[in-house]
């Protein structure tokens, strides 16, 4: 009810020449419907709103549209940019035999899923990762790449070649811009000049937050322009990180870290102060859990999506409470199923993307109303 409408009624009801609420109340008393209205308003305020149902998703069979005859190697990660282009990093060297039809490691698709460009691989003036792993596109459109060669899983033989102890930055067309760290140079968690087999990274307010990662057990923060080391921190509590696999920084400045082998998510301020922890995965004795992270596109980023590698599912969490509201997906090779759900991403429309190493594919899941 508009104020002027109520005021008009007040003057009419009380016979007053002025429309002020005070004059109306003194001269004529409160009409009988006012207390009832106030009770109704109070009741509406007191009753909490019903909890919003978590988002729903539907597999998109039209995505992606690869060039005719072209293929991926093991797909390690996926990210999106400000234009809702989708960027994939994969491992061409995992394809044995003839690689003529294997795409270069960095592949870009437009919003509709059409192939745009592909580039990457060894070149002059930089050390390309021997085992591609992470990819991120910053607000300027520059593309960040990391690798995890040198990591040796339980019972596995040492990997040939140097450890990927660096992150690299390129233009969106593949022109080299910068390298922070050097292959085979890391001395471990106390080394401020190199990362060690970094899994993921994100730029936030001029700082590069690195999930560092497979060889180290920390979050490392670098100046995004110069690469100068600024700070680092390890896990909260007595159990160290074991594969810091994904990192995301929210709009309100909280750092979300996926500790894959401990099936947990830890949340920190950008300065490294611990805030929260949640368990994701491991219900059935799997060795791996939280592996990929993404936010819903609303300004408040109400939902946090967590890819669970062990269960091959995407969990939908309330970002504030870290309560799991729902989940979808299952292990398998059919369209819409997951076969080693290695990383995830979201675009500005709320659609989700999955990167799967074993199935060598990236999939899209459309947000449904």
Cβ neighbours of residue 200 closer than 8 Å, sequence gap 6 or more = 77, 133, 134, 136, 146, 210, 211, 213, 244, 245, 246, 247, 343
DSSP class of residue 24?
H
Cβ neighbours of residue 241 closer than 8 Å, sequence gap 6 or more = 217, 218, 234, 235, 257, 259, 262
Burial of 333 (C-beta count, 10 Å sphere; 0-12/13-18/19+): exposed
| Coil, helix or strand at residue 42 | helix
Per-residue pLDDT at 9 = 34
Angle between helices 3-14 and 21-28 (to 10 degrees): 30
Distances in Å between the alpha carbon of 39 and those of 25, 33, 34, 189?
Answer: 18, 10, 9, 61
Cβ neighbours of residue 158 closer than 8 Å, sequence gap 6 or more = 152
Per-residue pLDDT at 250 = 98
The proportion of the chain whose per-residue pLDDT surpasses 90, expressed as a percent, equals 81
| Coil, helix or strand at residue 40 | helix
Q: Which bin fits 133, alpha (ψ -120 to 50), beta or left (φ > 0)? A: alpha
| Coil, helix or strand at residue 117 | strand
Residue 352 near residue 363, CB atoms below 8 Å? no
* Residue 20 clears pLDDT 70, i.e. is over it: no
Per-residue pLDDT at 151 = 95
Distances in Å between the alpha carbon of 198 and those of 14, 147, 202, 247, 361?
Answer: 75, 6, 12, 11, 22
Per-residue pLDDT at 138 = 98
Per-residue pLDDT at 18 = 32
* Residue 173 clears pLDDT 90, i.e. is over it: yes
Distances in Å between the alpha carbon of 367 and those of 58, 111, 248, 294, 330?
Answer: 7, 14, 20, 14, 18
Nearest to 166 by CA among 187, 192, 135, 195: 195
- When pLDDT is cut at 50, 70 and 90, the band that residue 255 belongs to is very high
C-alpha to C-alpha distance for 342 and 78, rounded to whole angstroms: 9
- When pLDDT is cut at 50, 70 and 90, the band that residue 282 belongs to is confident
- When pLDDT is cut at 50, 70 and 90, the band that residue 22 belongs to is very low
- When pLDDT is cut at 50, 70 and 90, the band that residue 156 belongs to is confident
C-alpha to C-alpha distance for 251 and 298, rounded to whole angstroms: 10
249: tokens are 């920084």
* Residue 82 clears pLDDT 90, i.e. is over it: yes
For the beta sheet containing 290-295, the strands, ordered from the edge strand earlier in sequence to the opposite edge, are 290-295, 303-308, 313-318, 324-328
Burial of 16 (C-beta count, 10 Å sphere; 0-12/13-18/19+): middle
Task: Calculate mean pLDDT across residues 181-204.
Answer: 98
Residue 338 near residue 325, CB atoms below 8 Å? no
- When pLDDT is cut at 50, 70 and 90, the band that residue 6 belongs to is very low
C-alpha to C-alpha distance for 277 and 257, rounded to whole angstroms: 10
- When pLDDT is cut at 50, 70 and 90, the band that residue 108 belongs to is very high
pTM of the predicted protein model: 0.86
C-alpha to C-alpha distance for 202 and 248, rounded to whole angstroms: 7
DSSP class of residue 44?
H
Q: Are strands 313-318 and 303-308 parallel, antiparallel or unpaired?
A: antiparallel
């Amino acid at each position: 009810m508009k104020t002027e409408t109520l005021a008009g009624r007040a003057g009419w009801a009380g016979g007053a020449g002025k429309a002020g609420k005070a004059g109306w109340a003194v001269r004529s008393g409160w009409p009988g419907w006012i207390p009832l209205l106030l009770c109704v308003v109070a009741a509406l305020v007191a009753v909490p709103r019903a909890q919003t149902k978590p988002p729903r998703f539907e597999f998109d069979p039209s995505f992606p549209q690869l060039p005719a005859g072209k293929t991926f190697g093991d797909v390690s990660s996926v990210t999106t940019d400000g234009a809702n282009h989708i960027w994939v990093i994969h491992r061409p060297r995992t394809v044995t035999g003839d690689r003529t039809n294997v795409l270069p490691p960095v592949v870009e698709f437009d919003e509709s899923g059409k192939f745009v460009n592909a580039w990457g691989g060894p070149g002059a003036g930089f050390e390309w990762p021997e085992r591609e792993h992470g990819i991120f596109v910053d607000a300027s459109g520059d593309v960040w790449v990391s690798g995890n060669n040198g990591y040796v899983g339980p019972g596995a033989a040492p990997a040939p070649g140097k450890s990927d102890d660096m992150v690299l930055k390129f233009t969106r067309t593949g022109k080299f811009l910068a390298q922070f760290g050097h292959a085979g140079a890391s001395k471990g968690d106390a080394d401020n000049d190199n990362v060690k087999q970094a899994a993921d990274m994100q730029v936030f307010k001029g700082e590069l937050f690195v999930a560092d990662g497979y060889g180290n057990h920390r979050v490392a923060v670098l100046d995004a322009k110069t690469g100068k080391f600024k700070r680092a921190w390890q896990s909260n509590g007595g159990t160290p990180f074991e594969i810091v696999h994904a990192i995301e920084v929210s709009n309100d400045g909280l750092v979300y870290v996926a500790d894959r082998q401990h099936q947990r998510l830890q949340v920190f301020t950008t300065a490294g102060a611990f805030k929260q922890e949640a368990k994701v995965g491991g219900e059935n004795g799997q060795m791996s859990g939280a592996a990929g992270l993404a936010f819903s596109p609303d300004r408040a980023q109400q939902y946090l999506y967590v890819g669970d590698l062990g269960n091959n599912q995407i969990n939908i969490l309330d970002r504030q409470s870290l309560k799991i509201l729902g989940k979808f997906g299952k292990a398998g090779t059919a369209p819409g199923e997951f076969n080693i759900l290695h990383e995830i991403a979201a675009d500005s429309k709320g659609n989700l993307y999955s990167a799967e190493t074993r199935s060598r594919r990236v999939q899209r899941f459309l947000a449904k109303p």
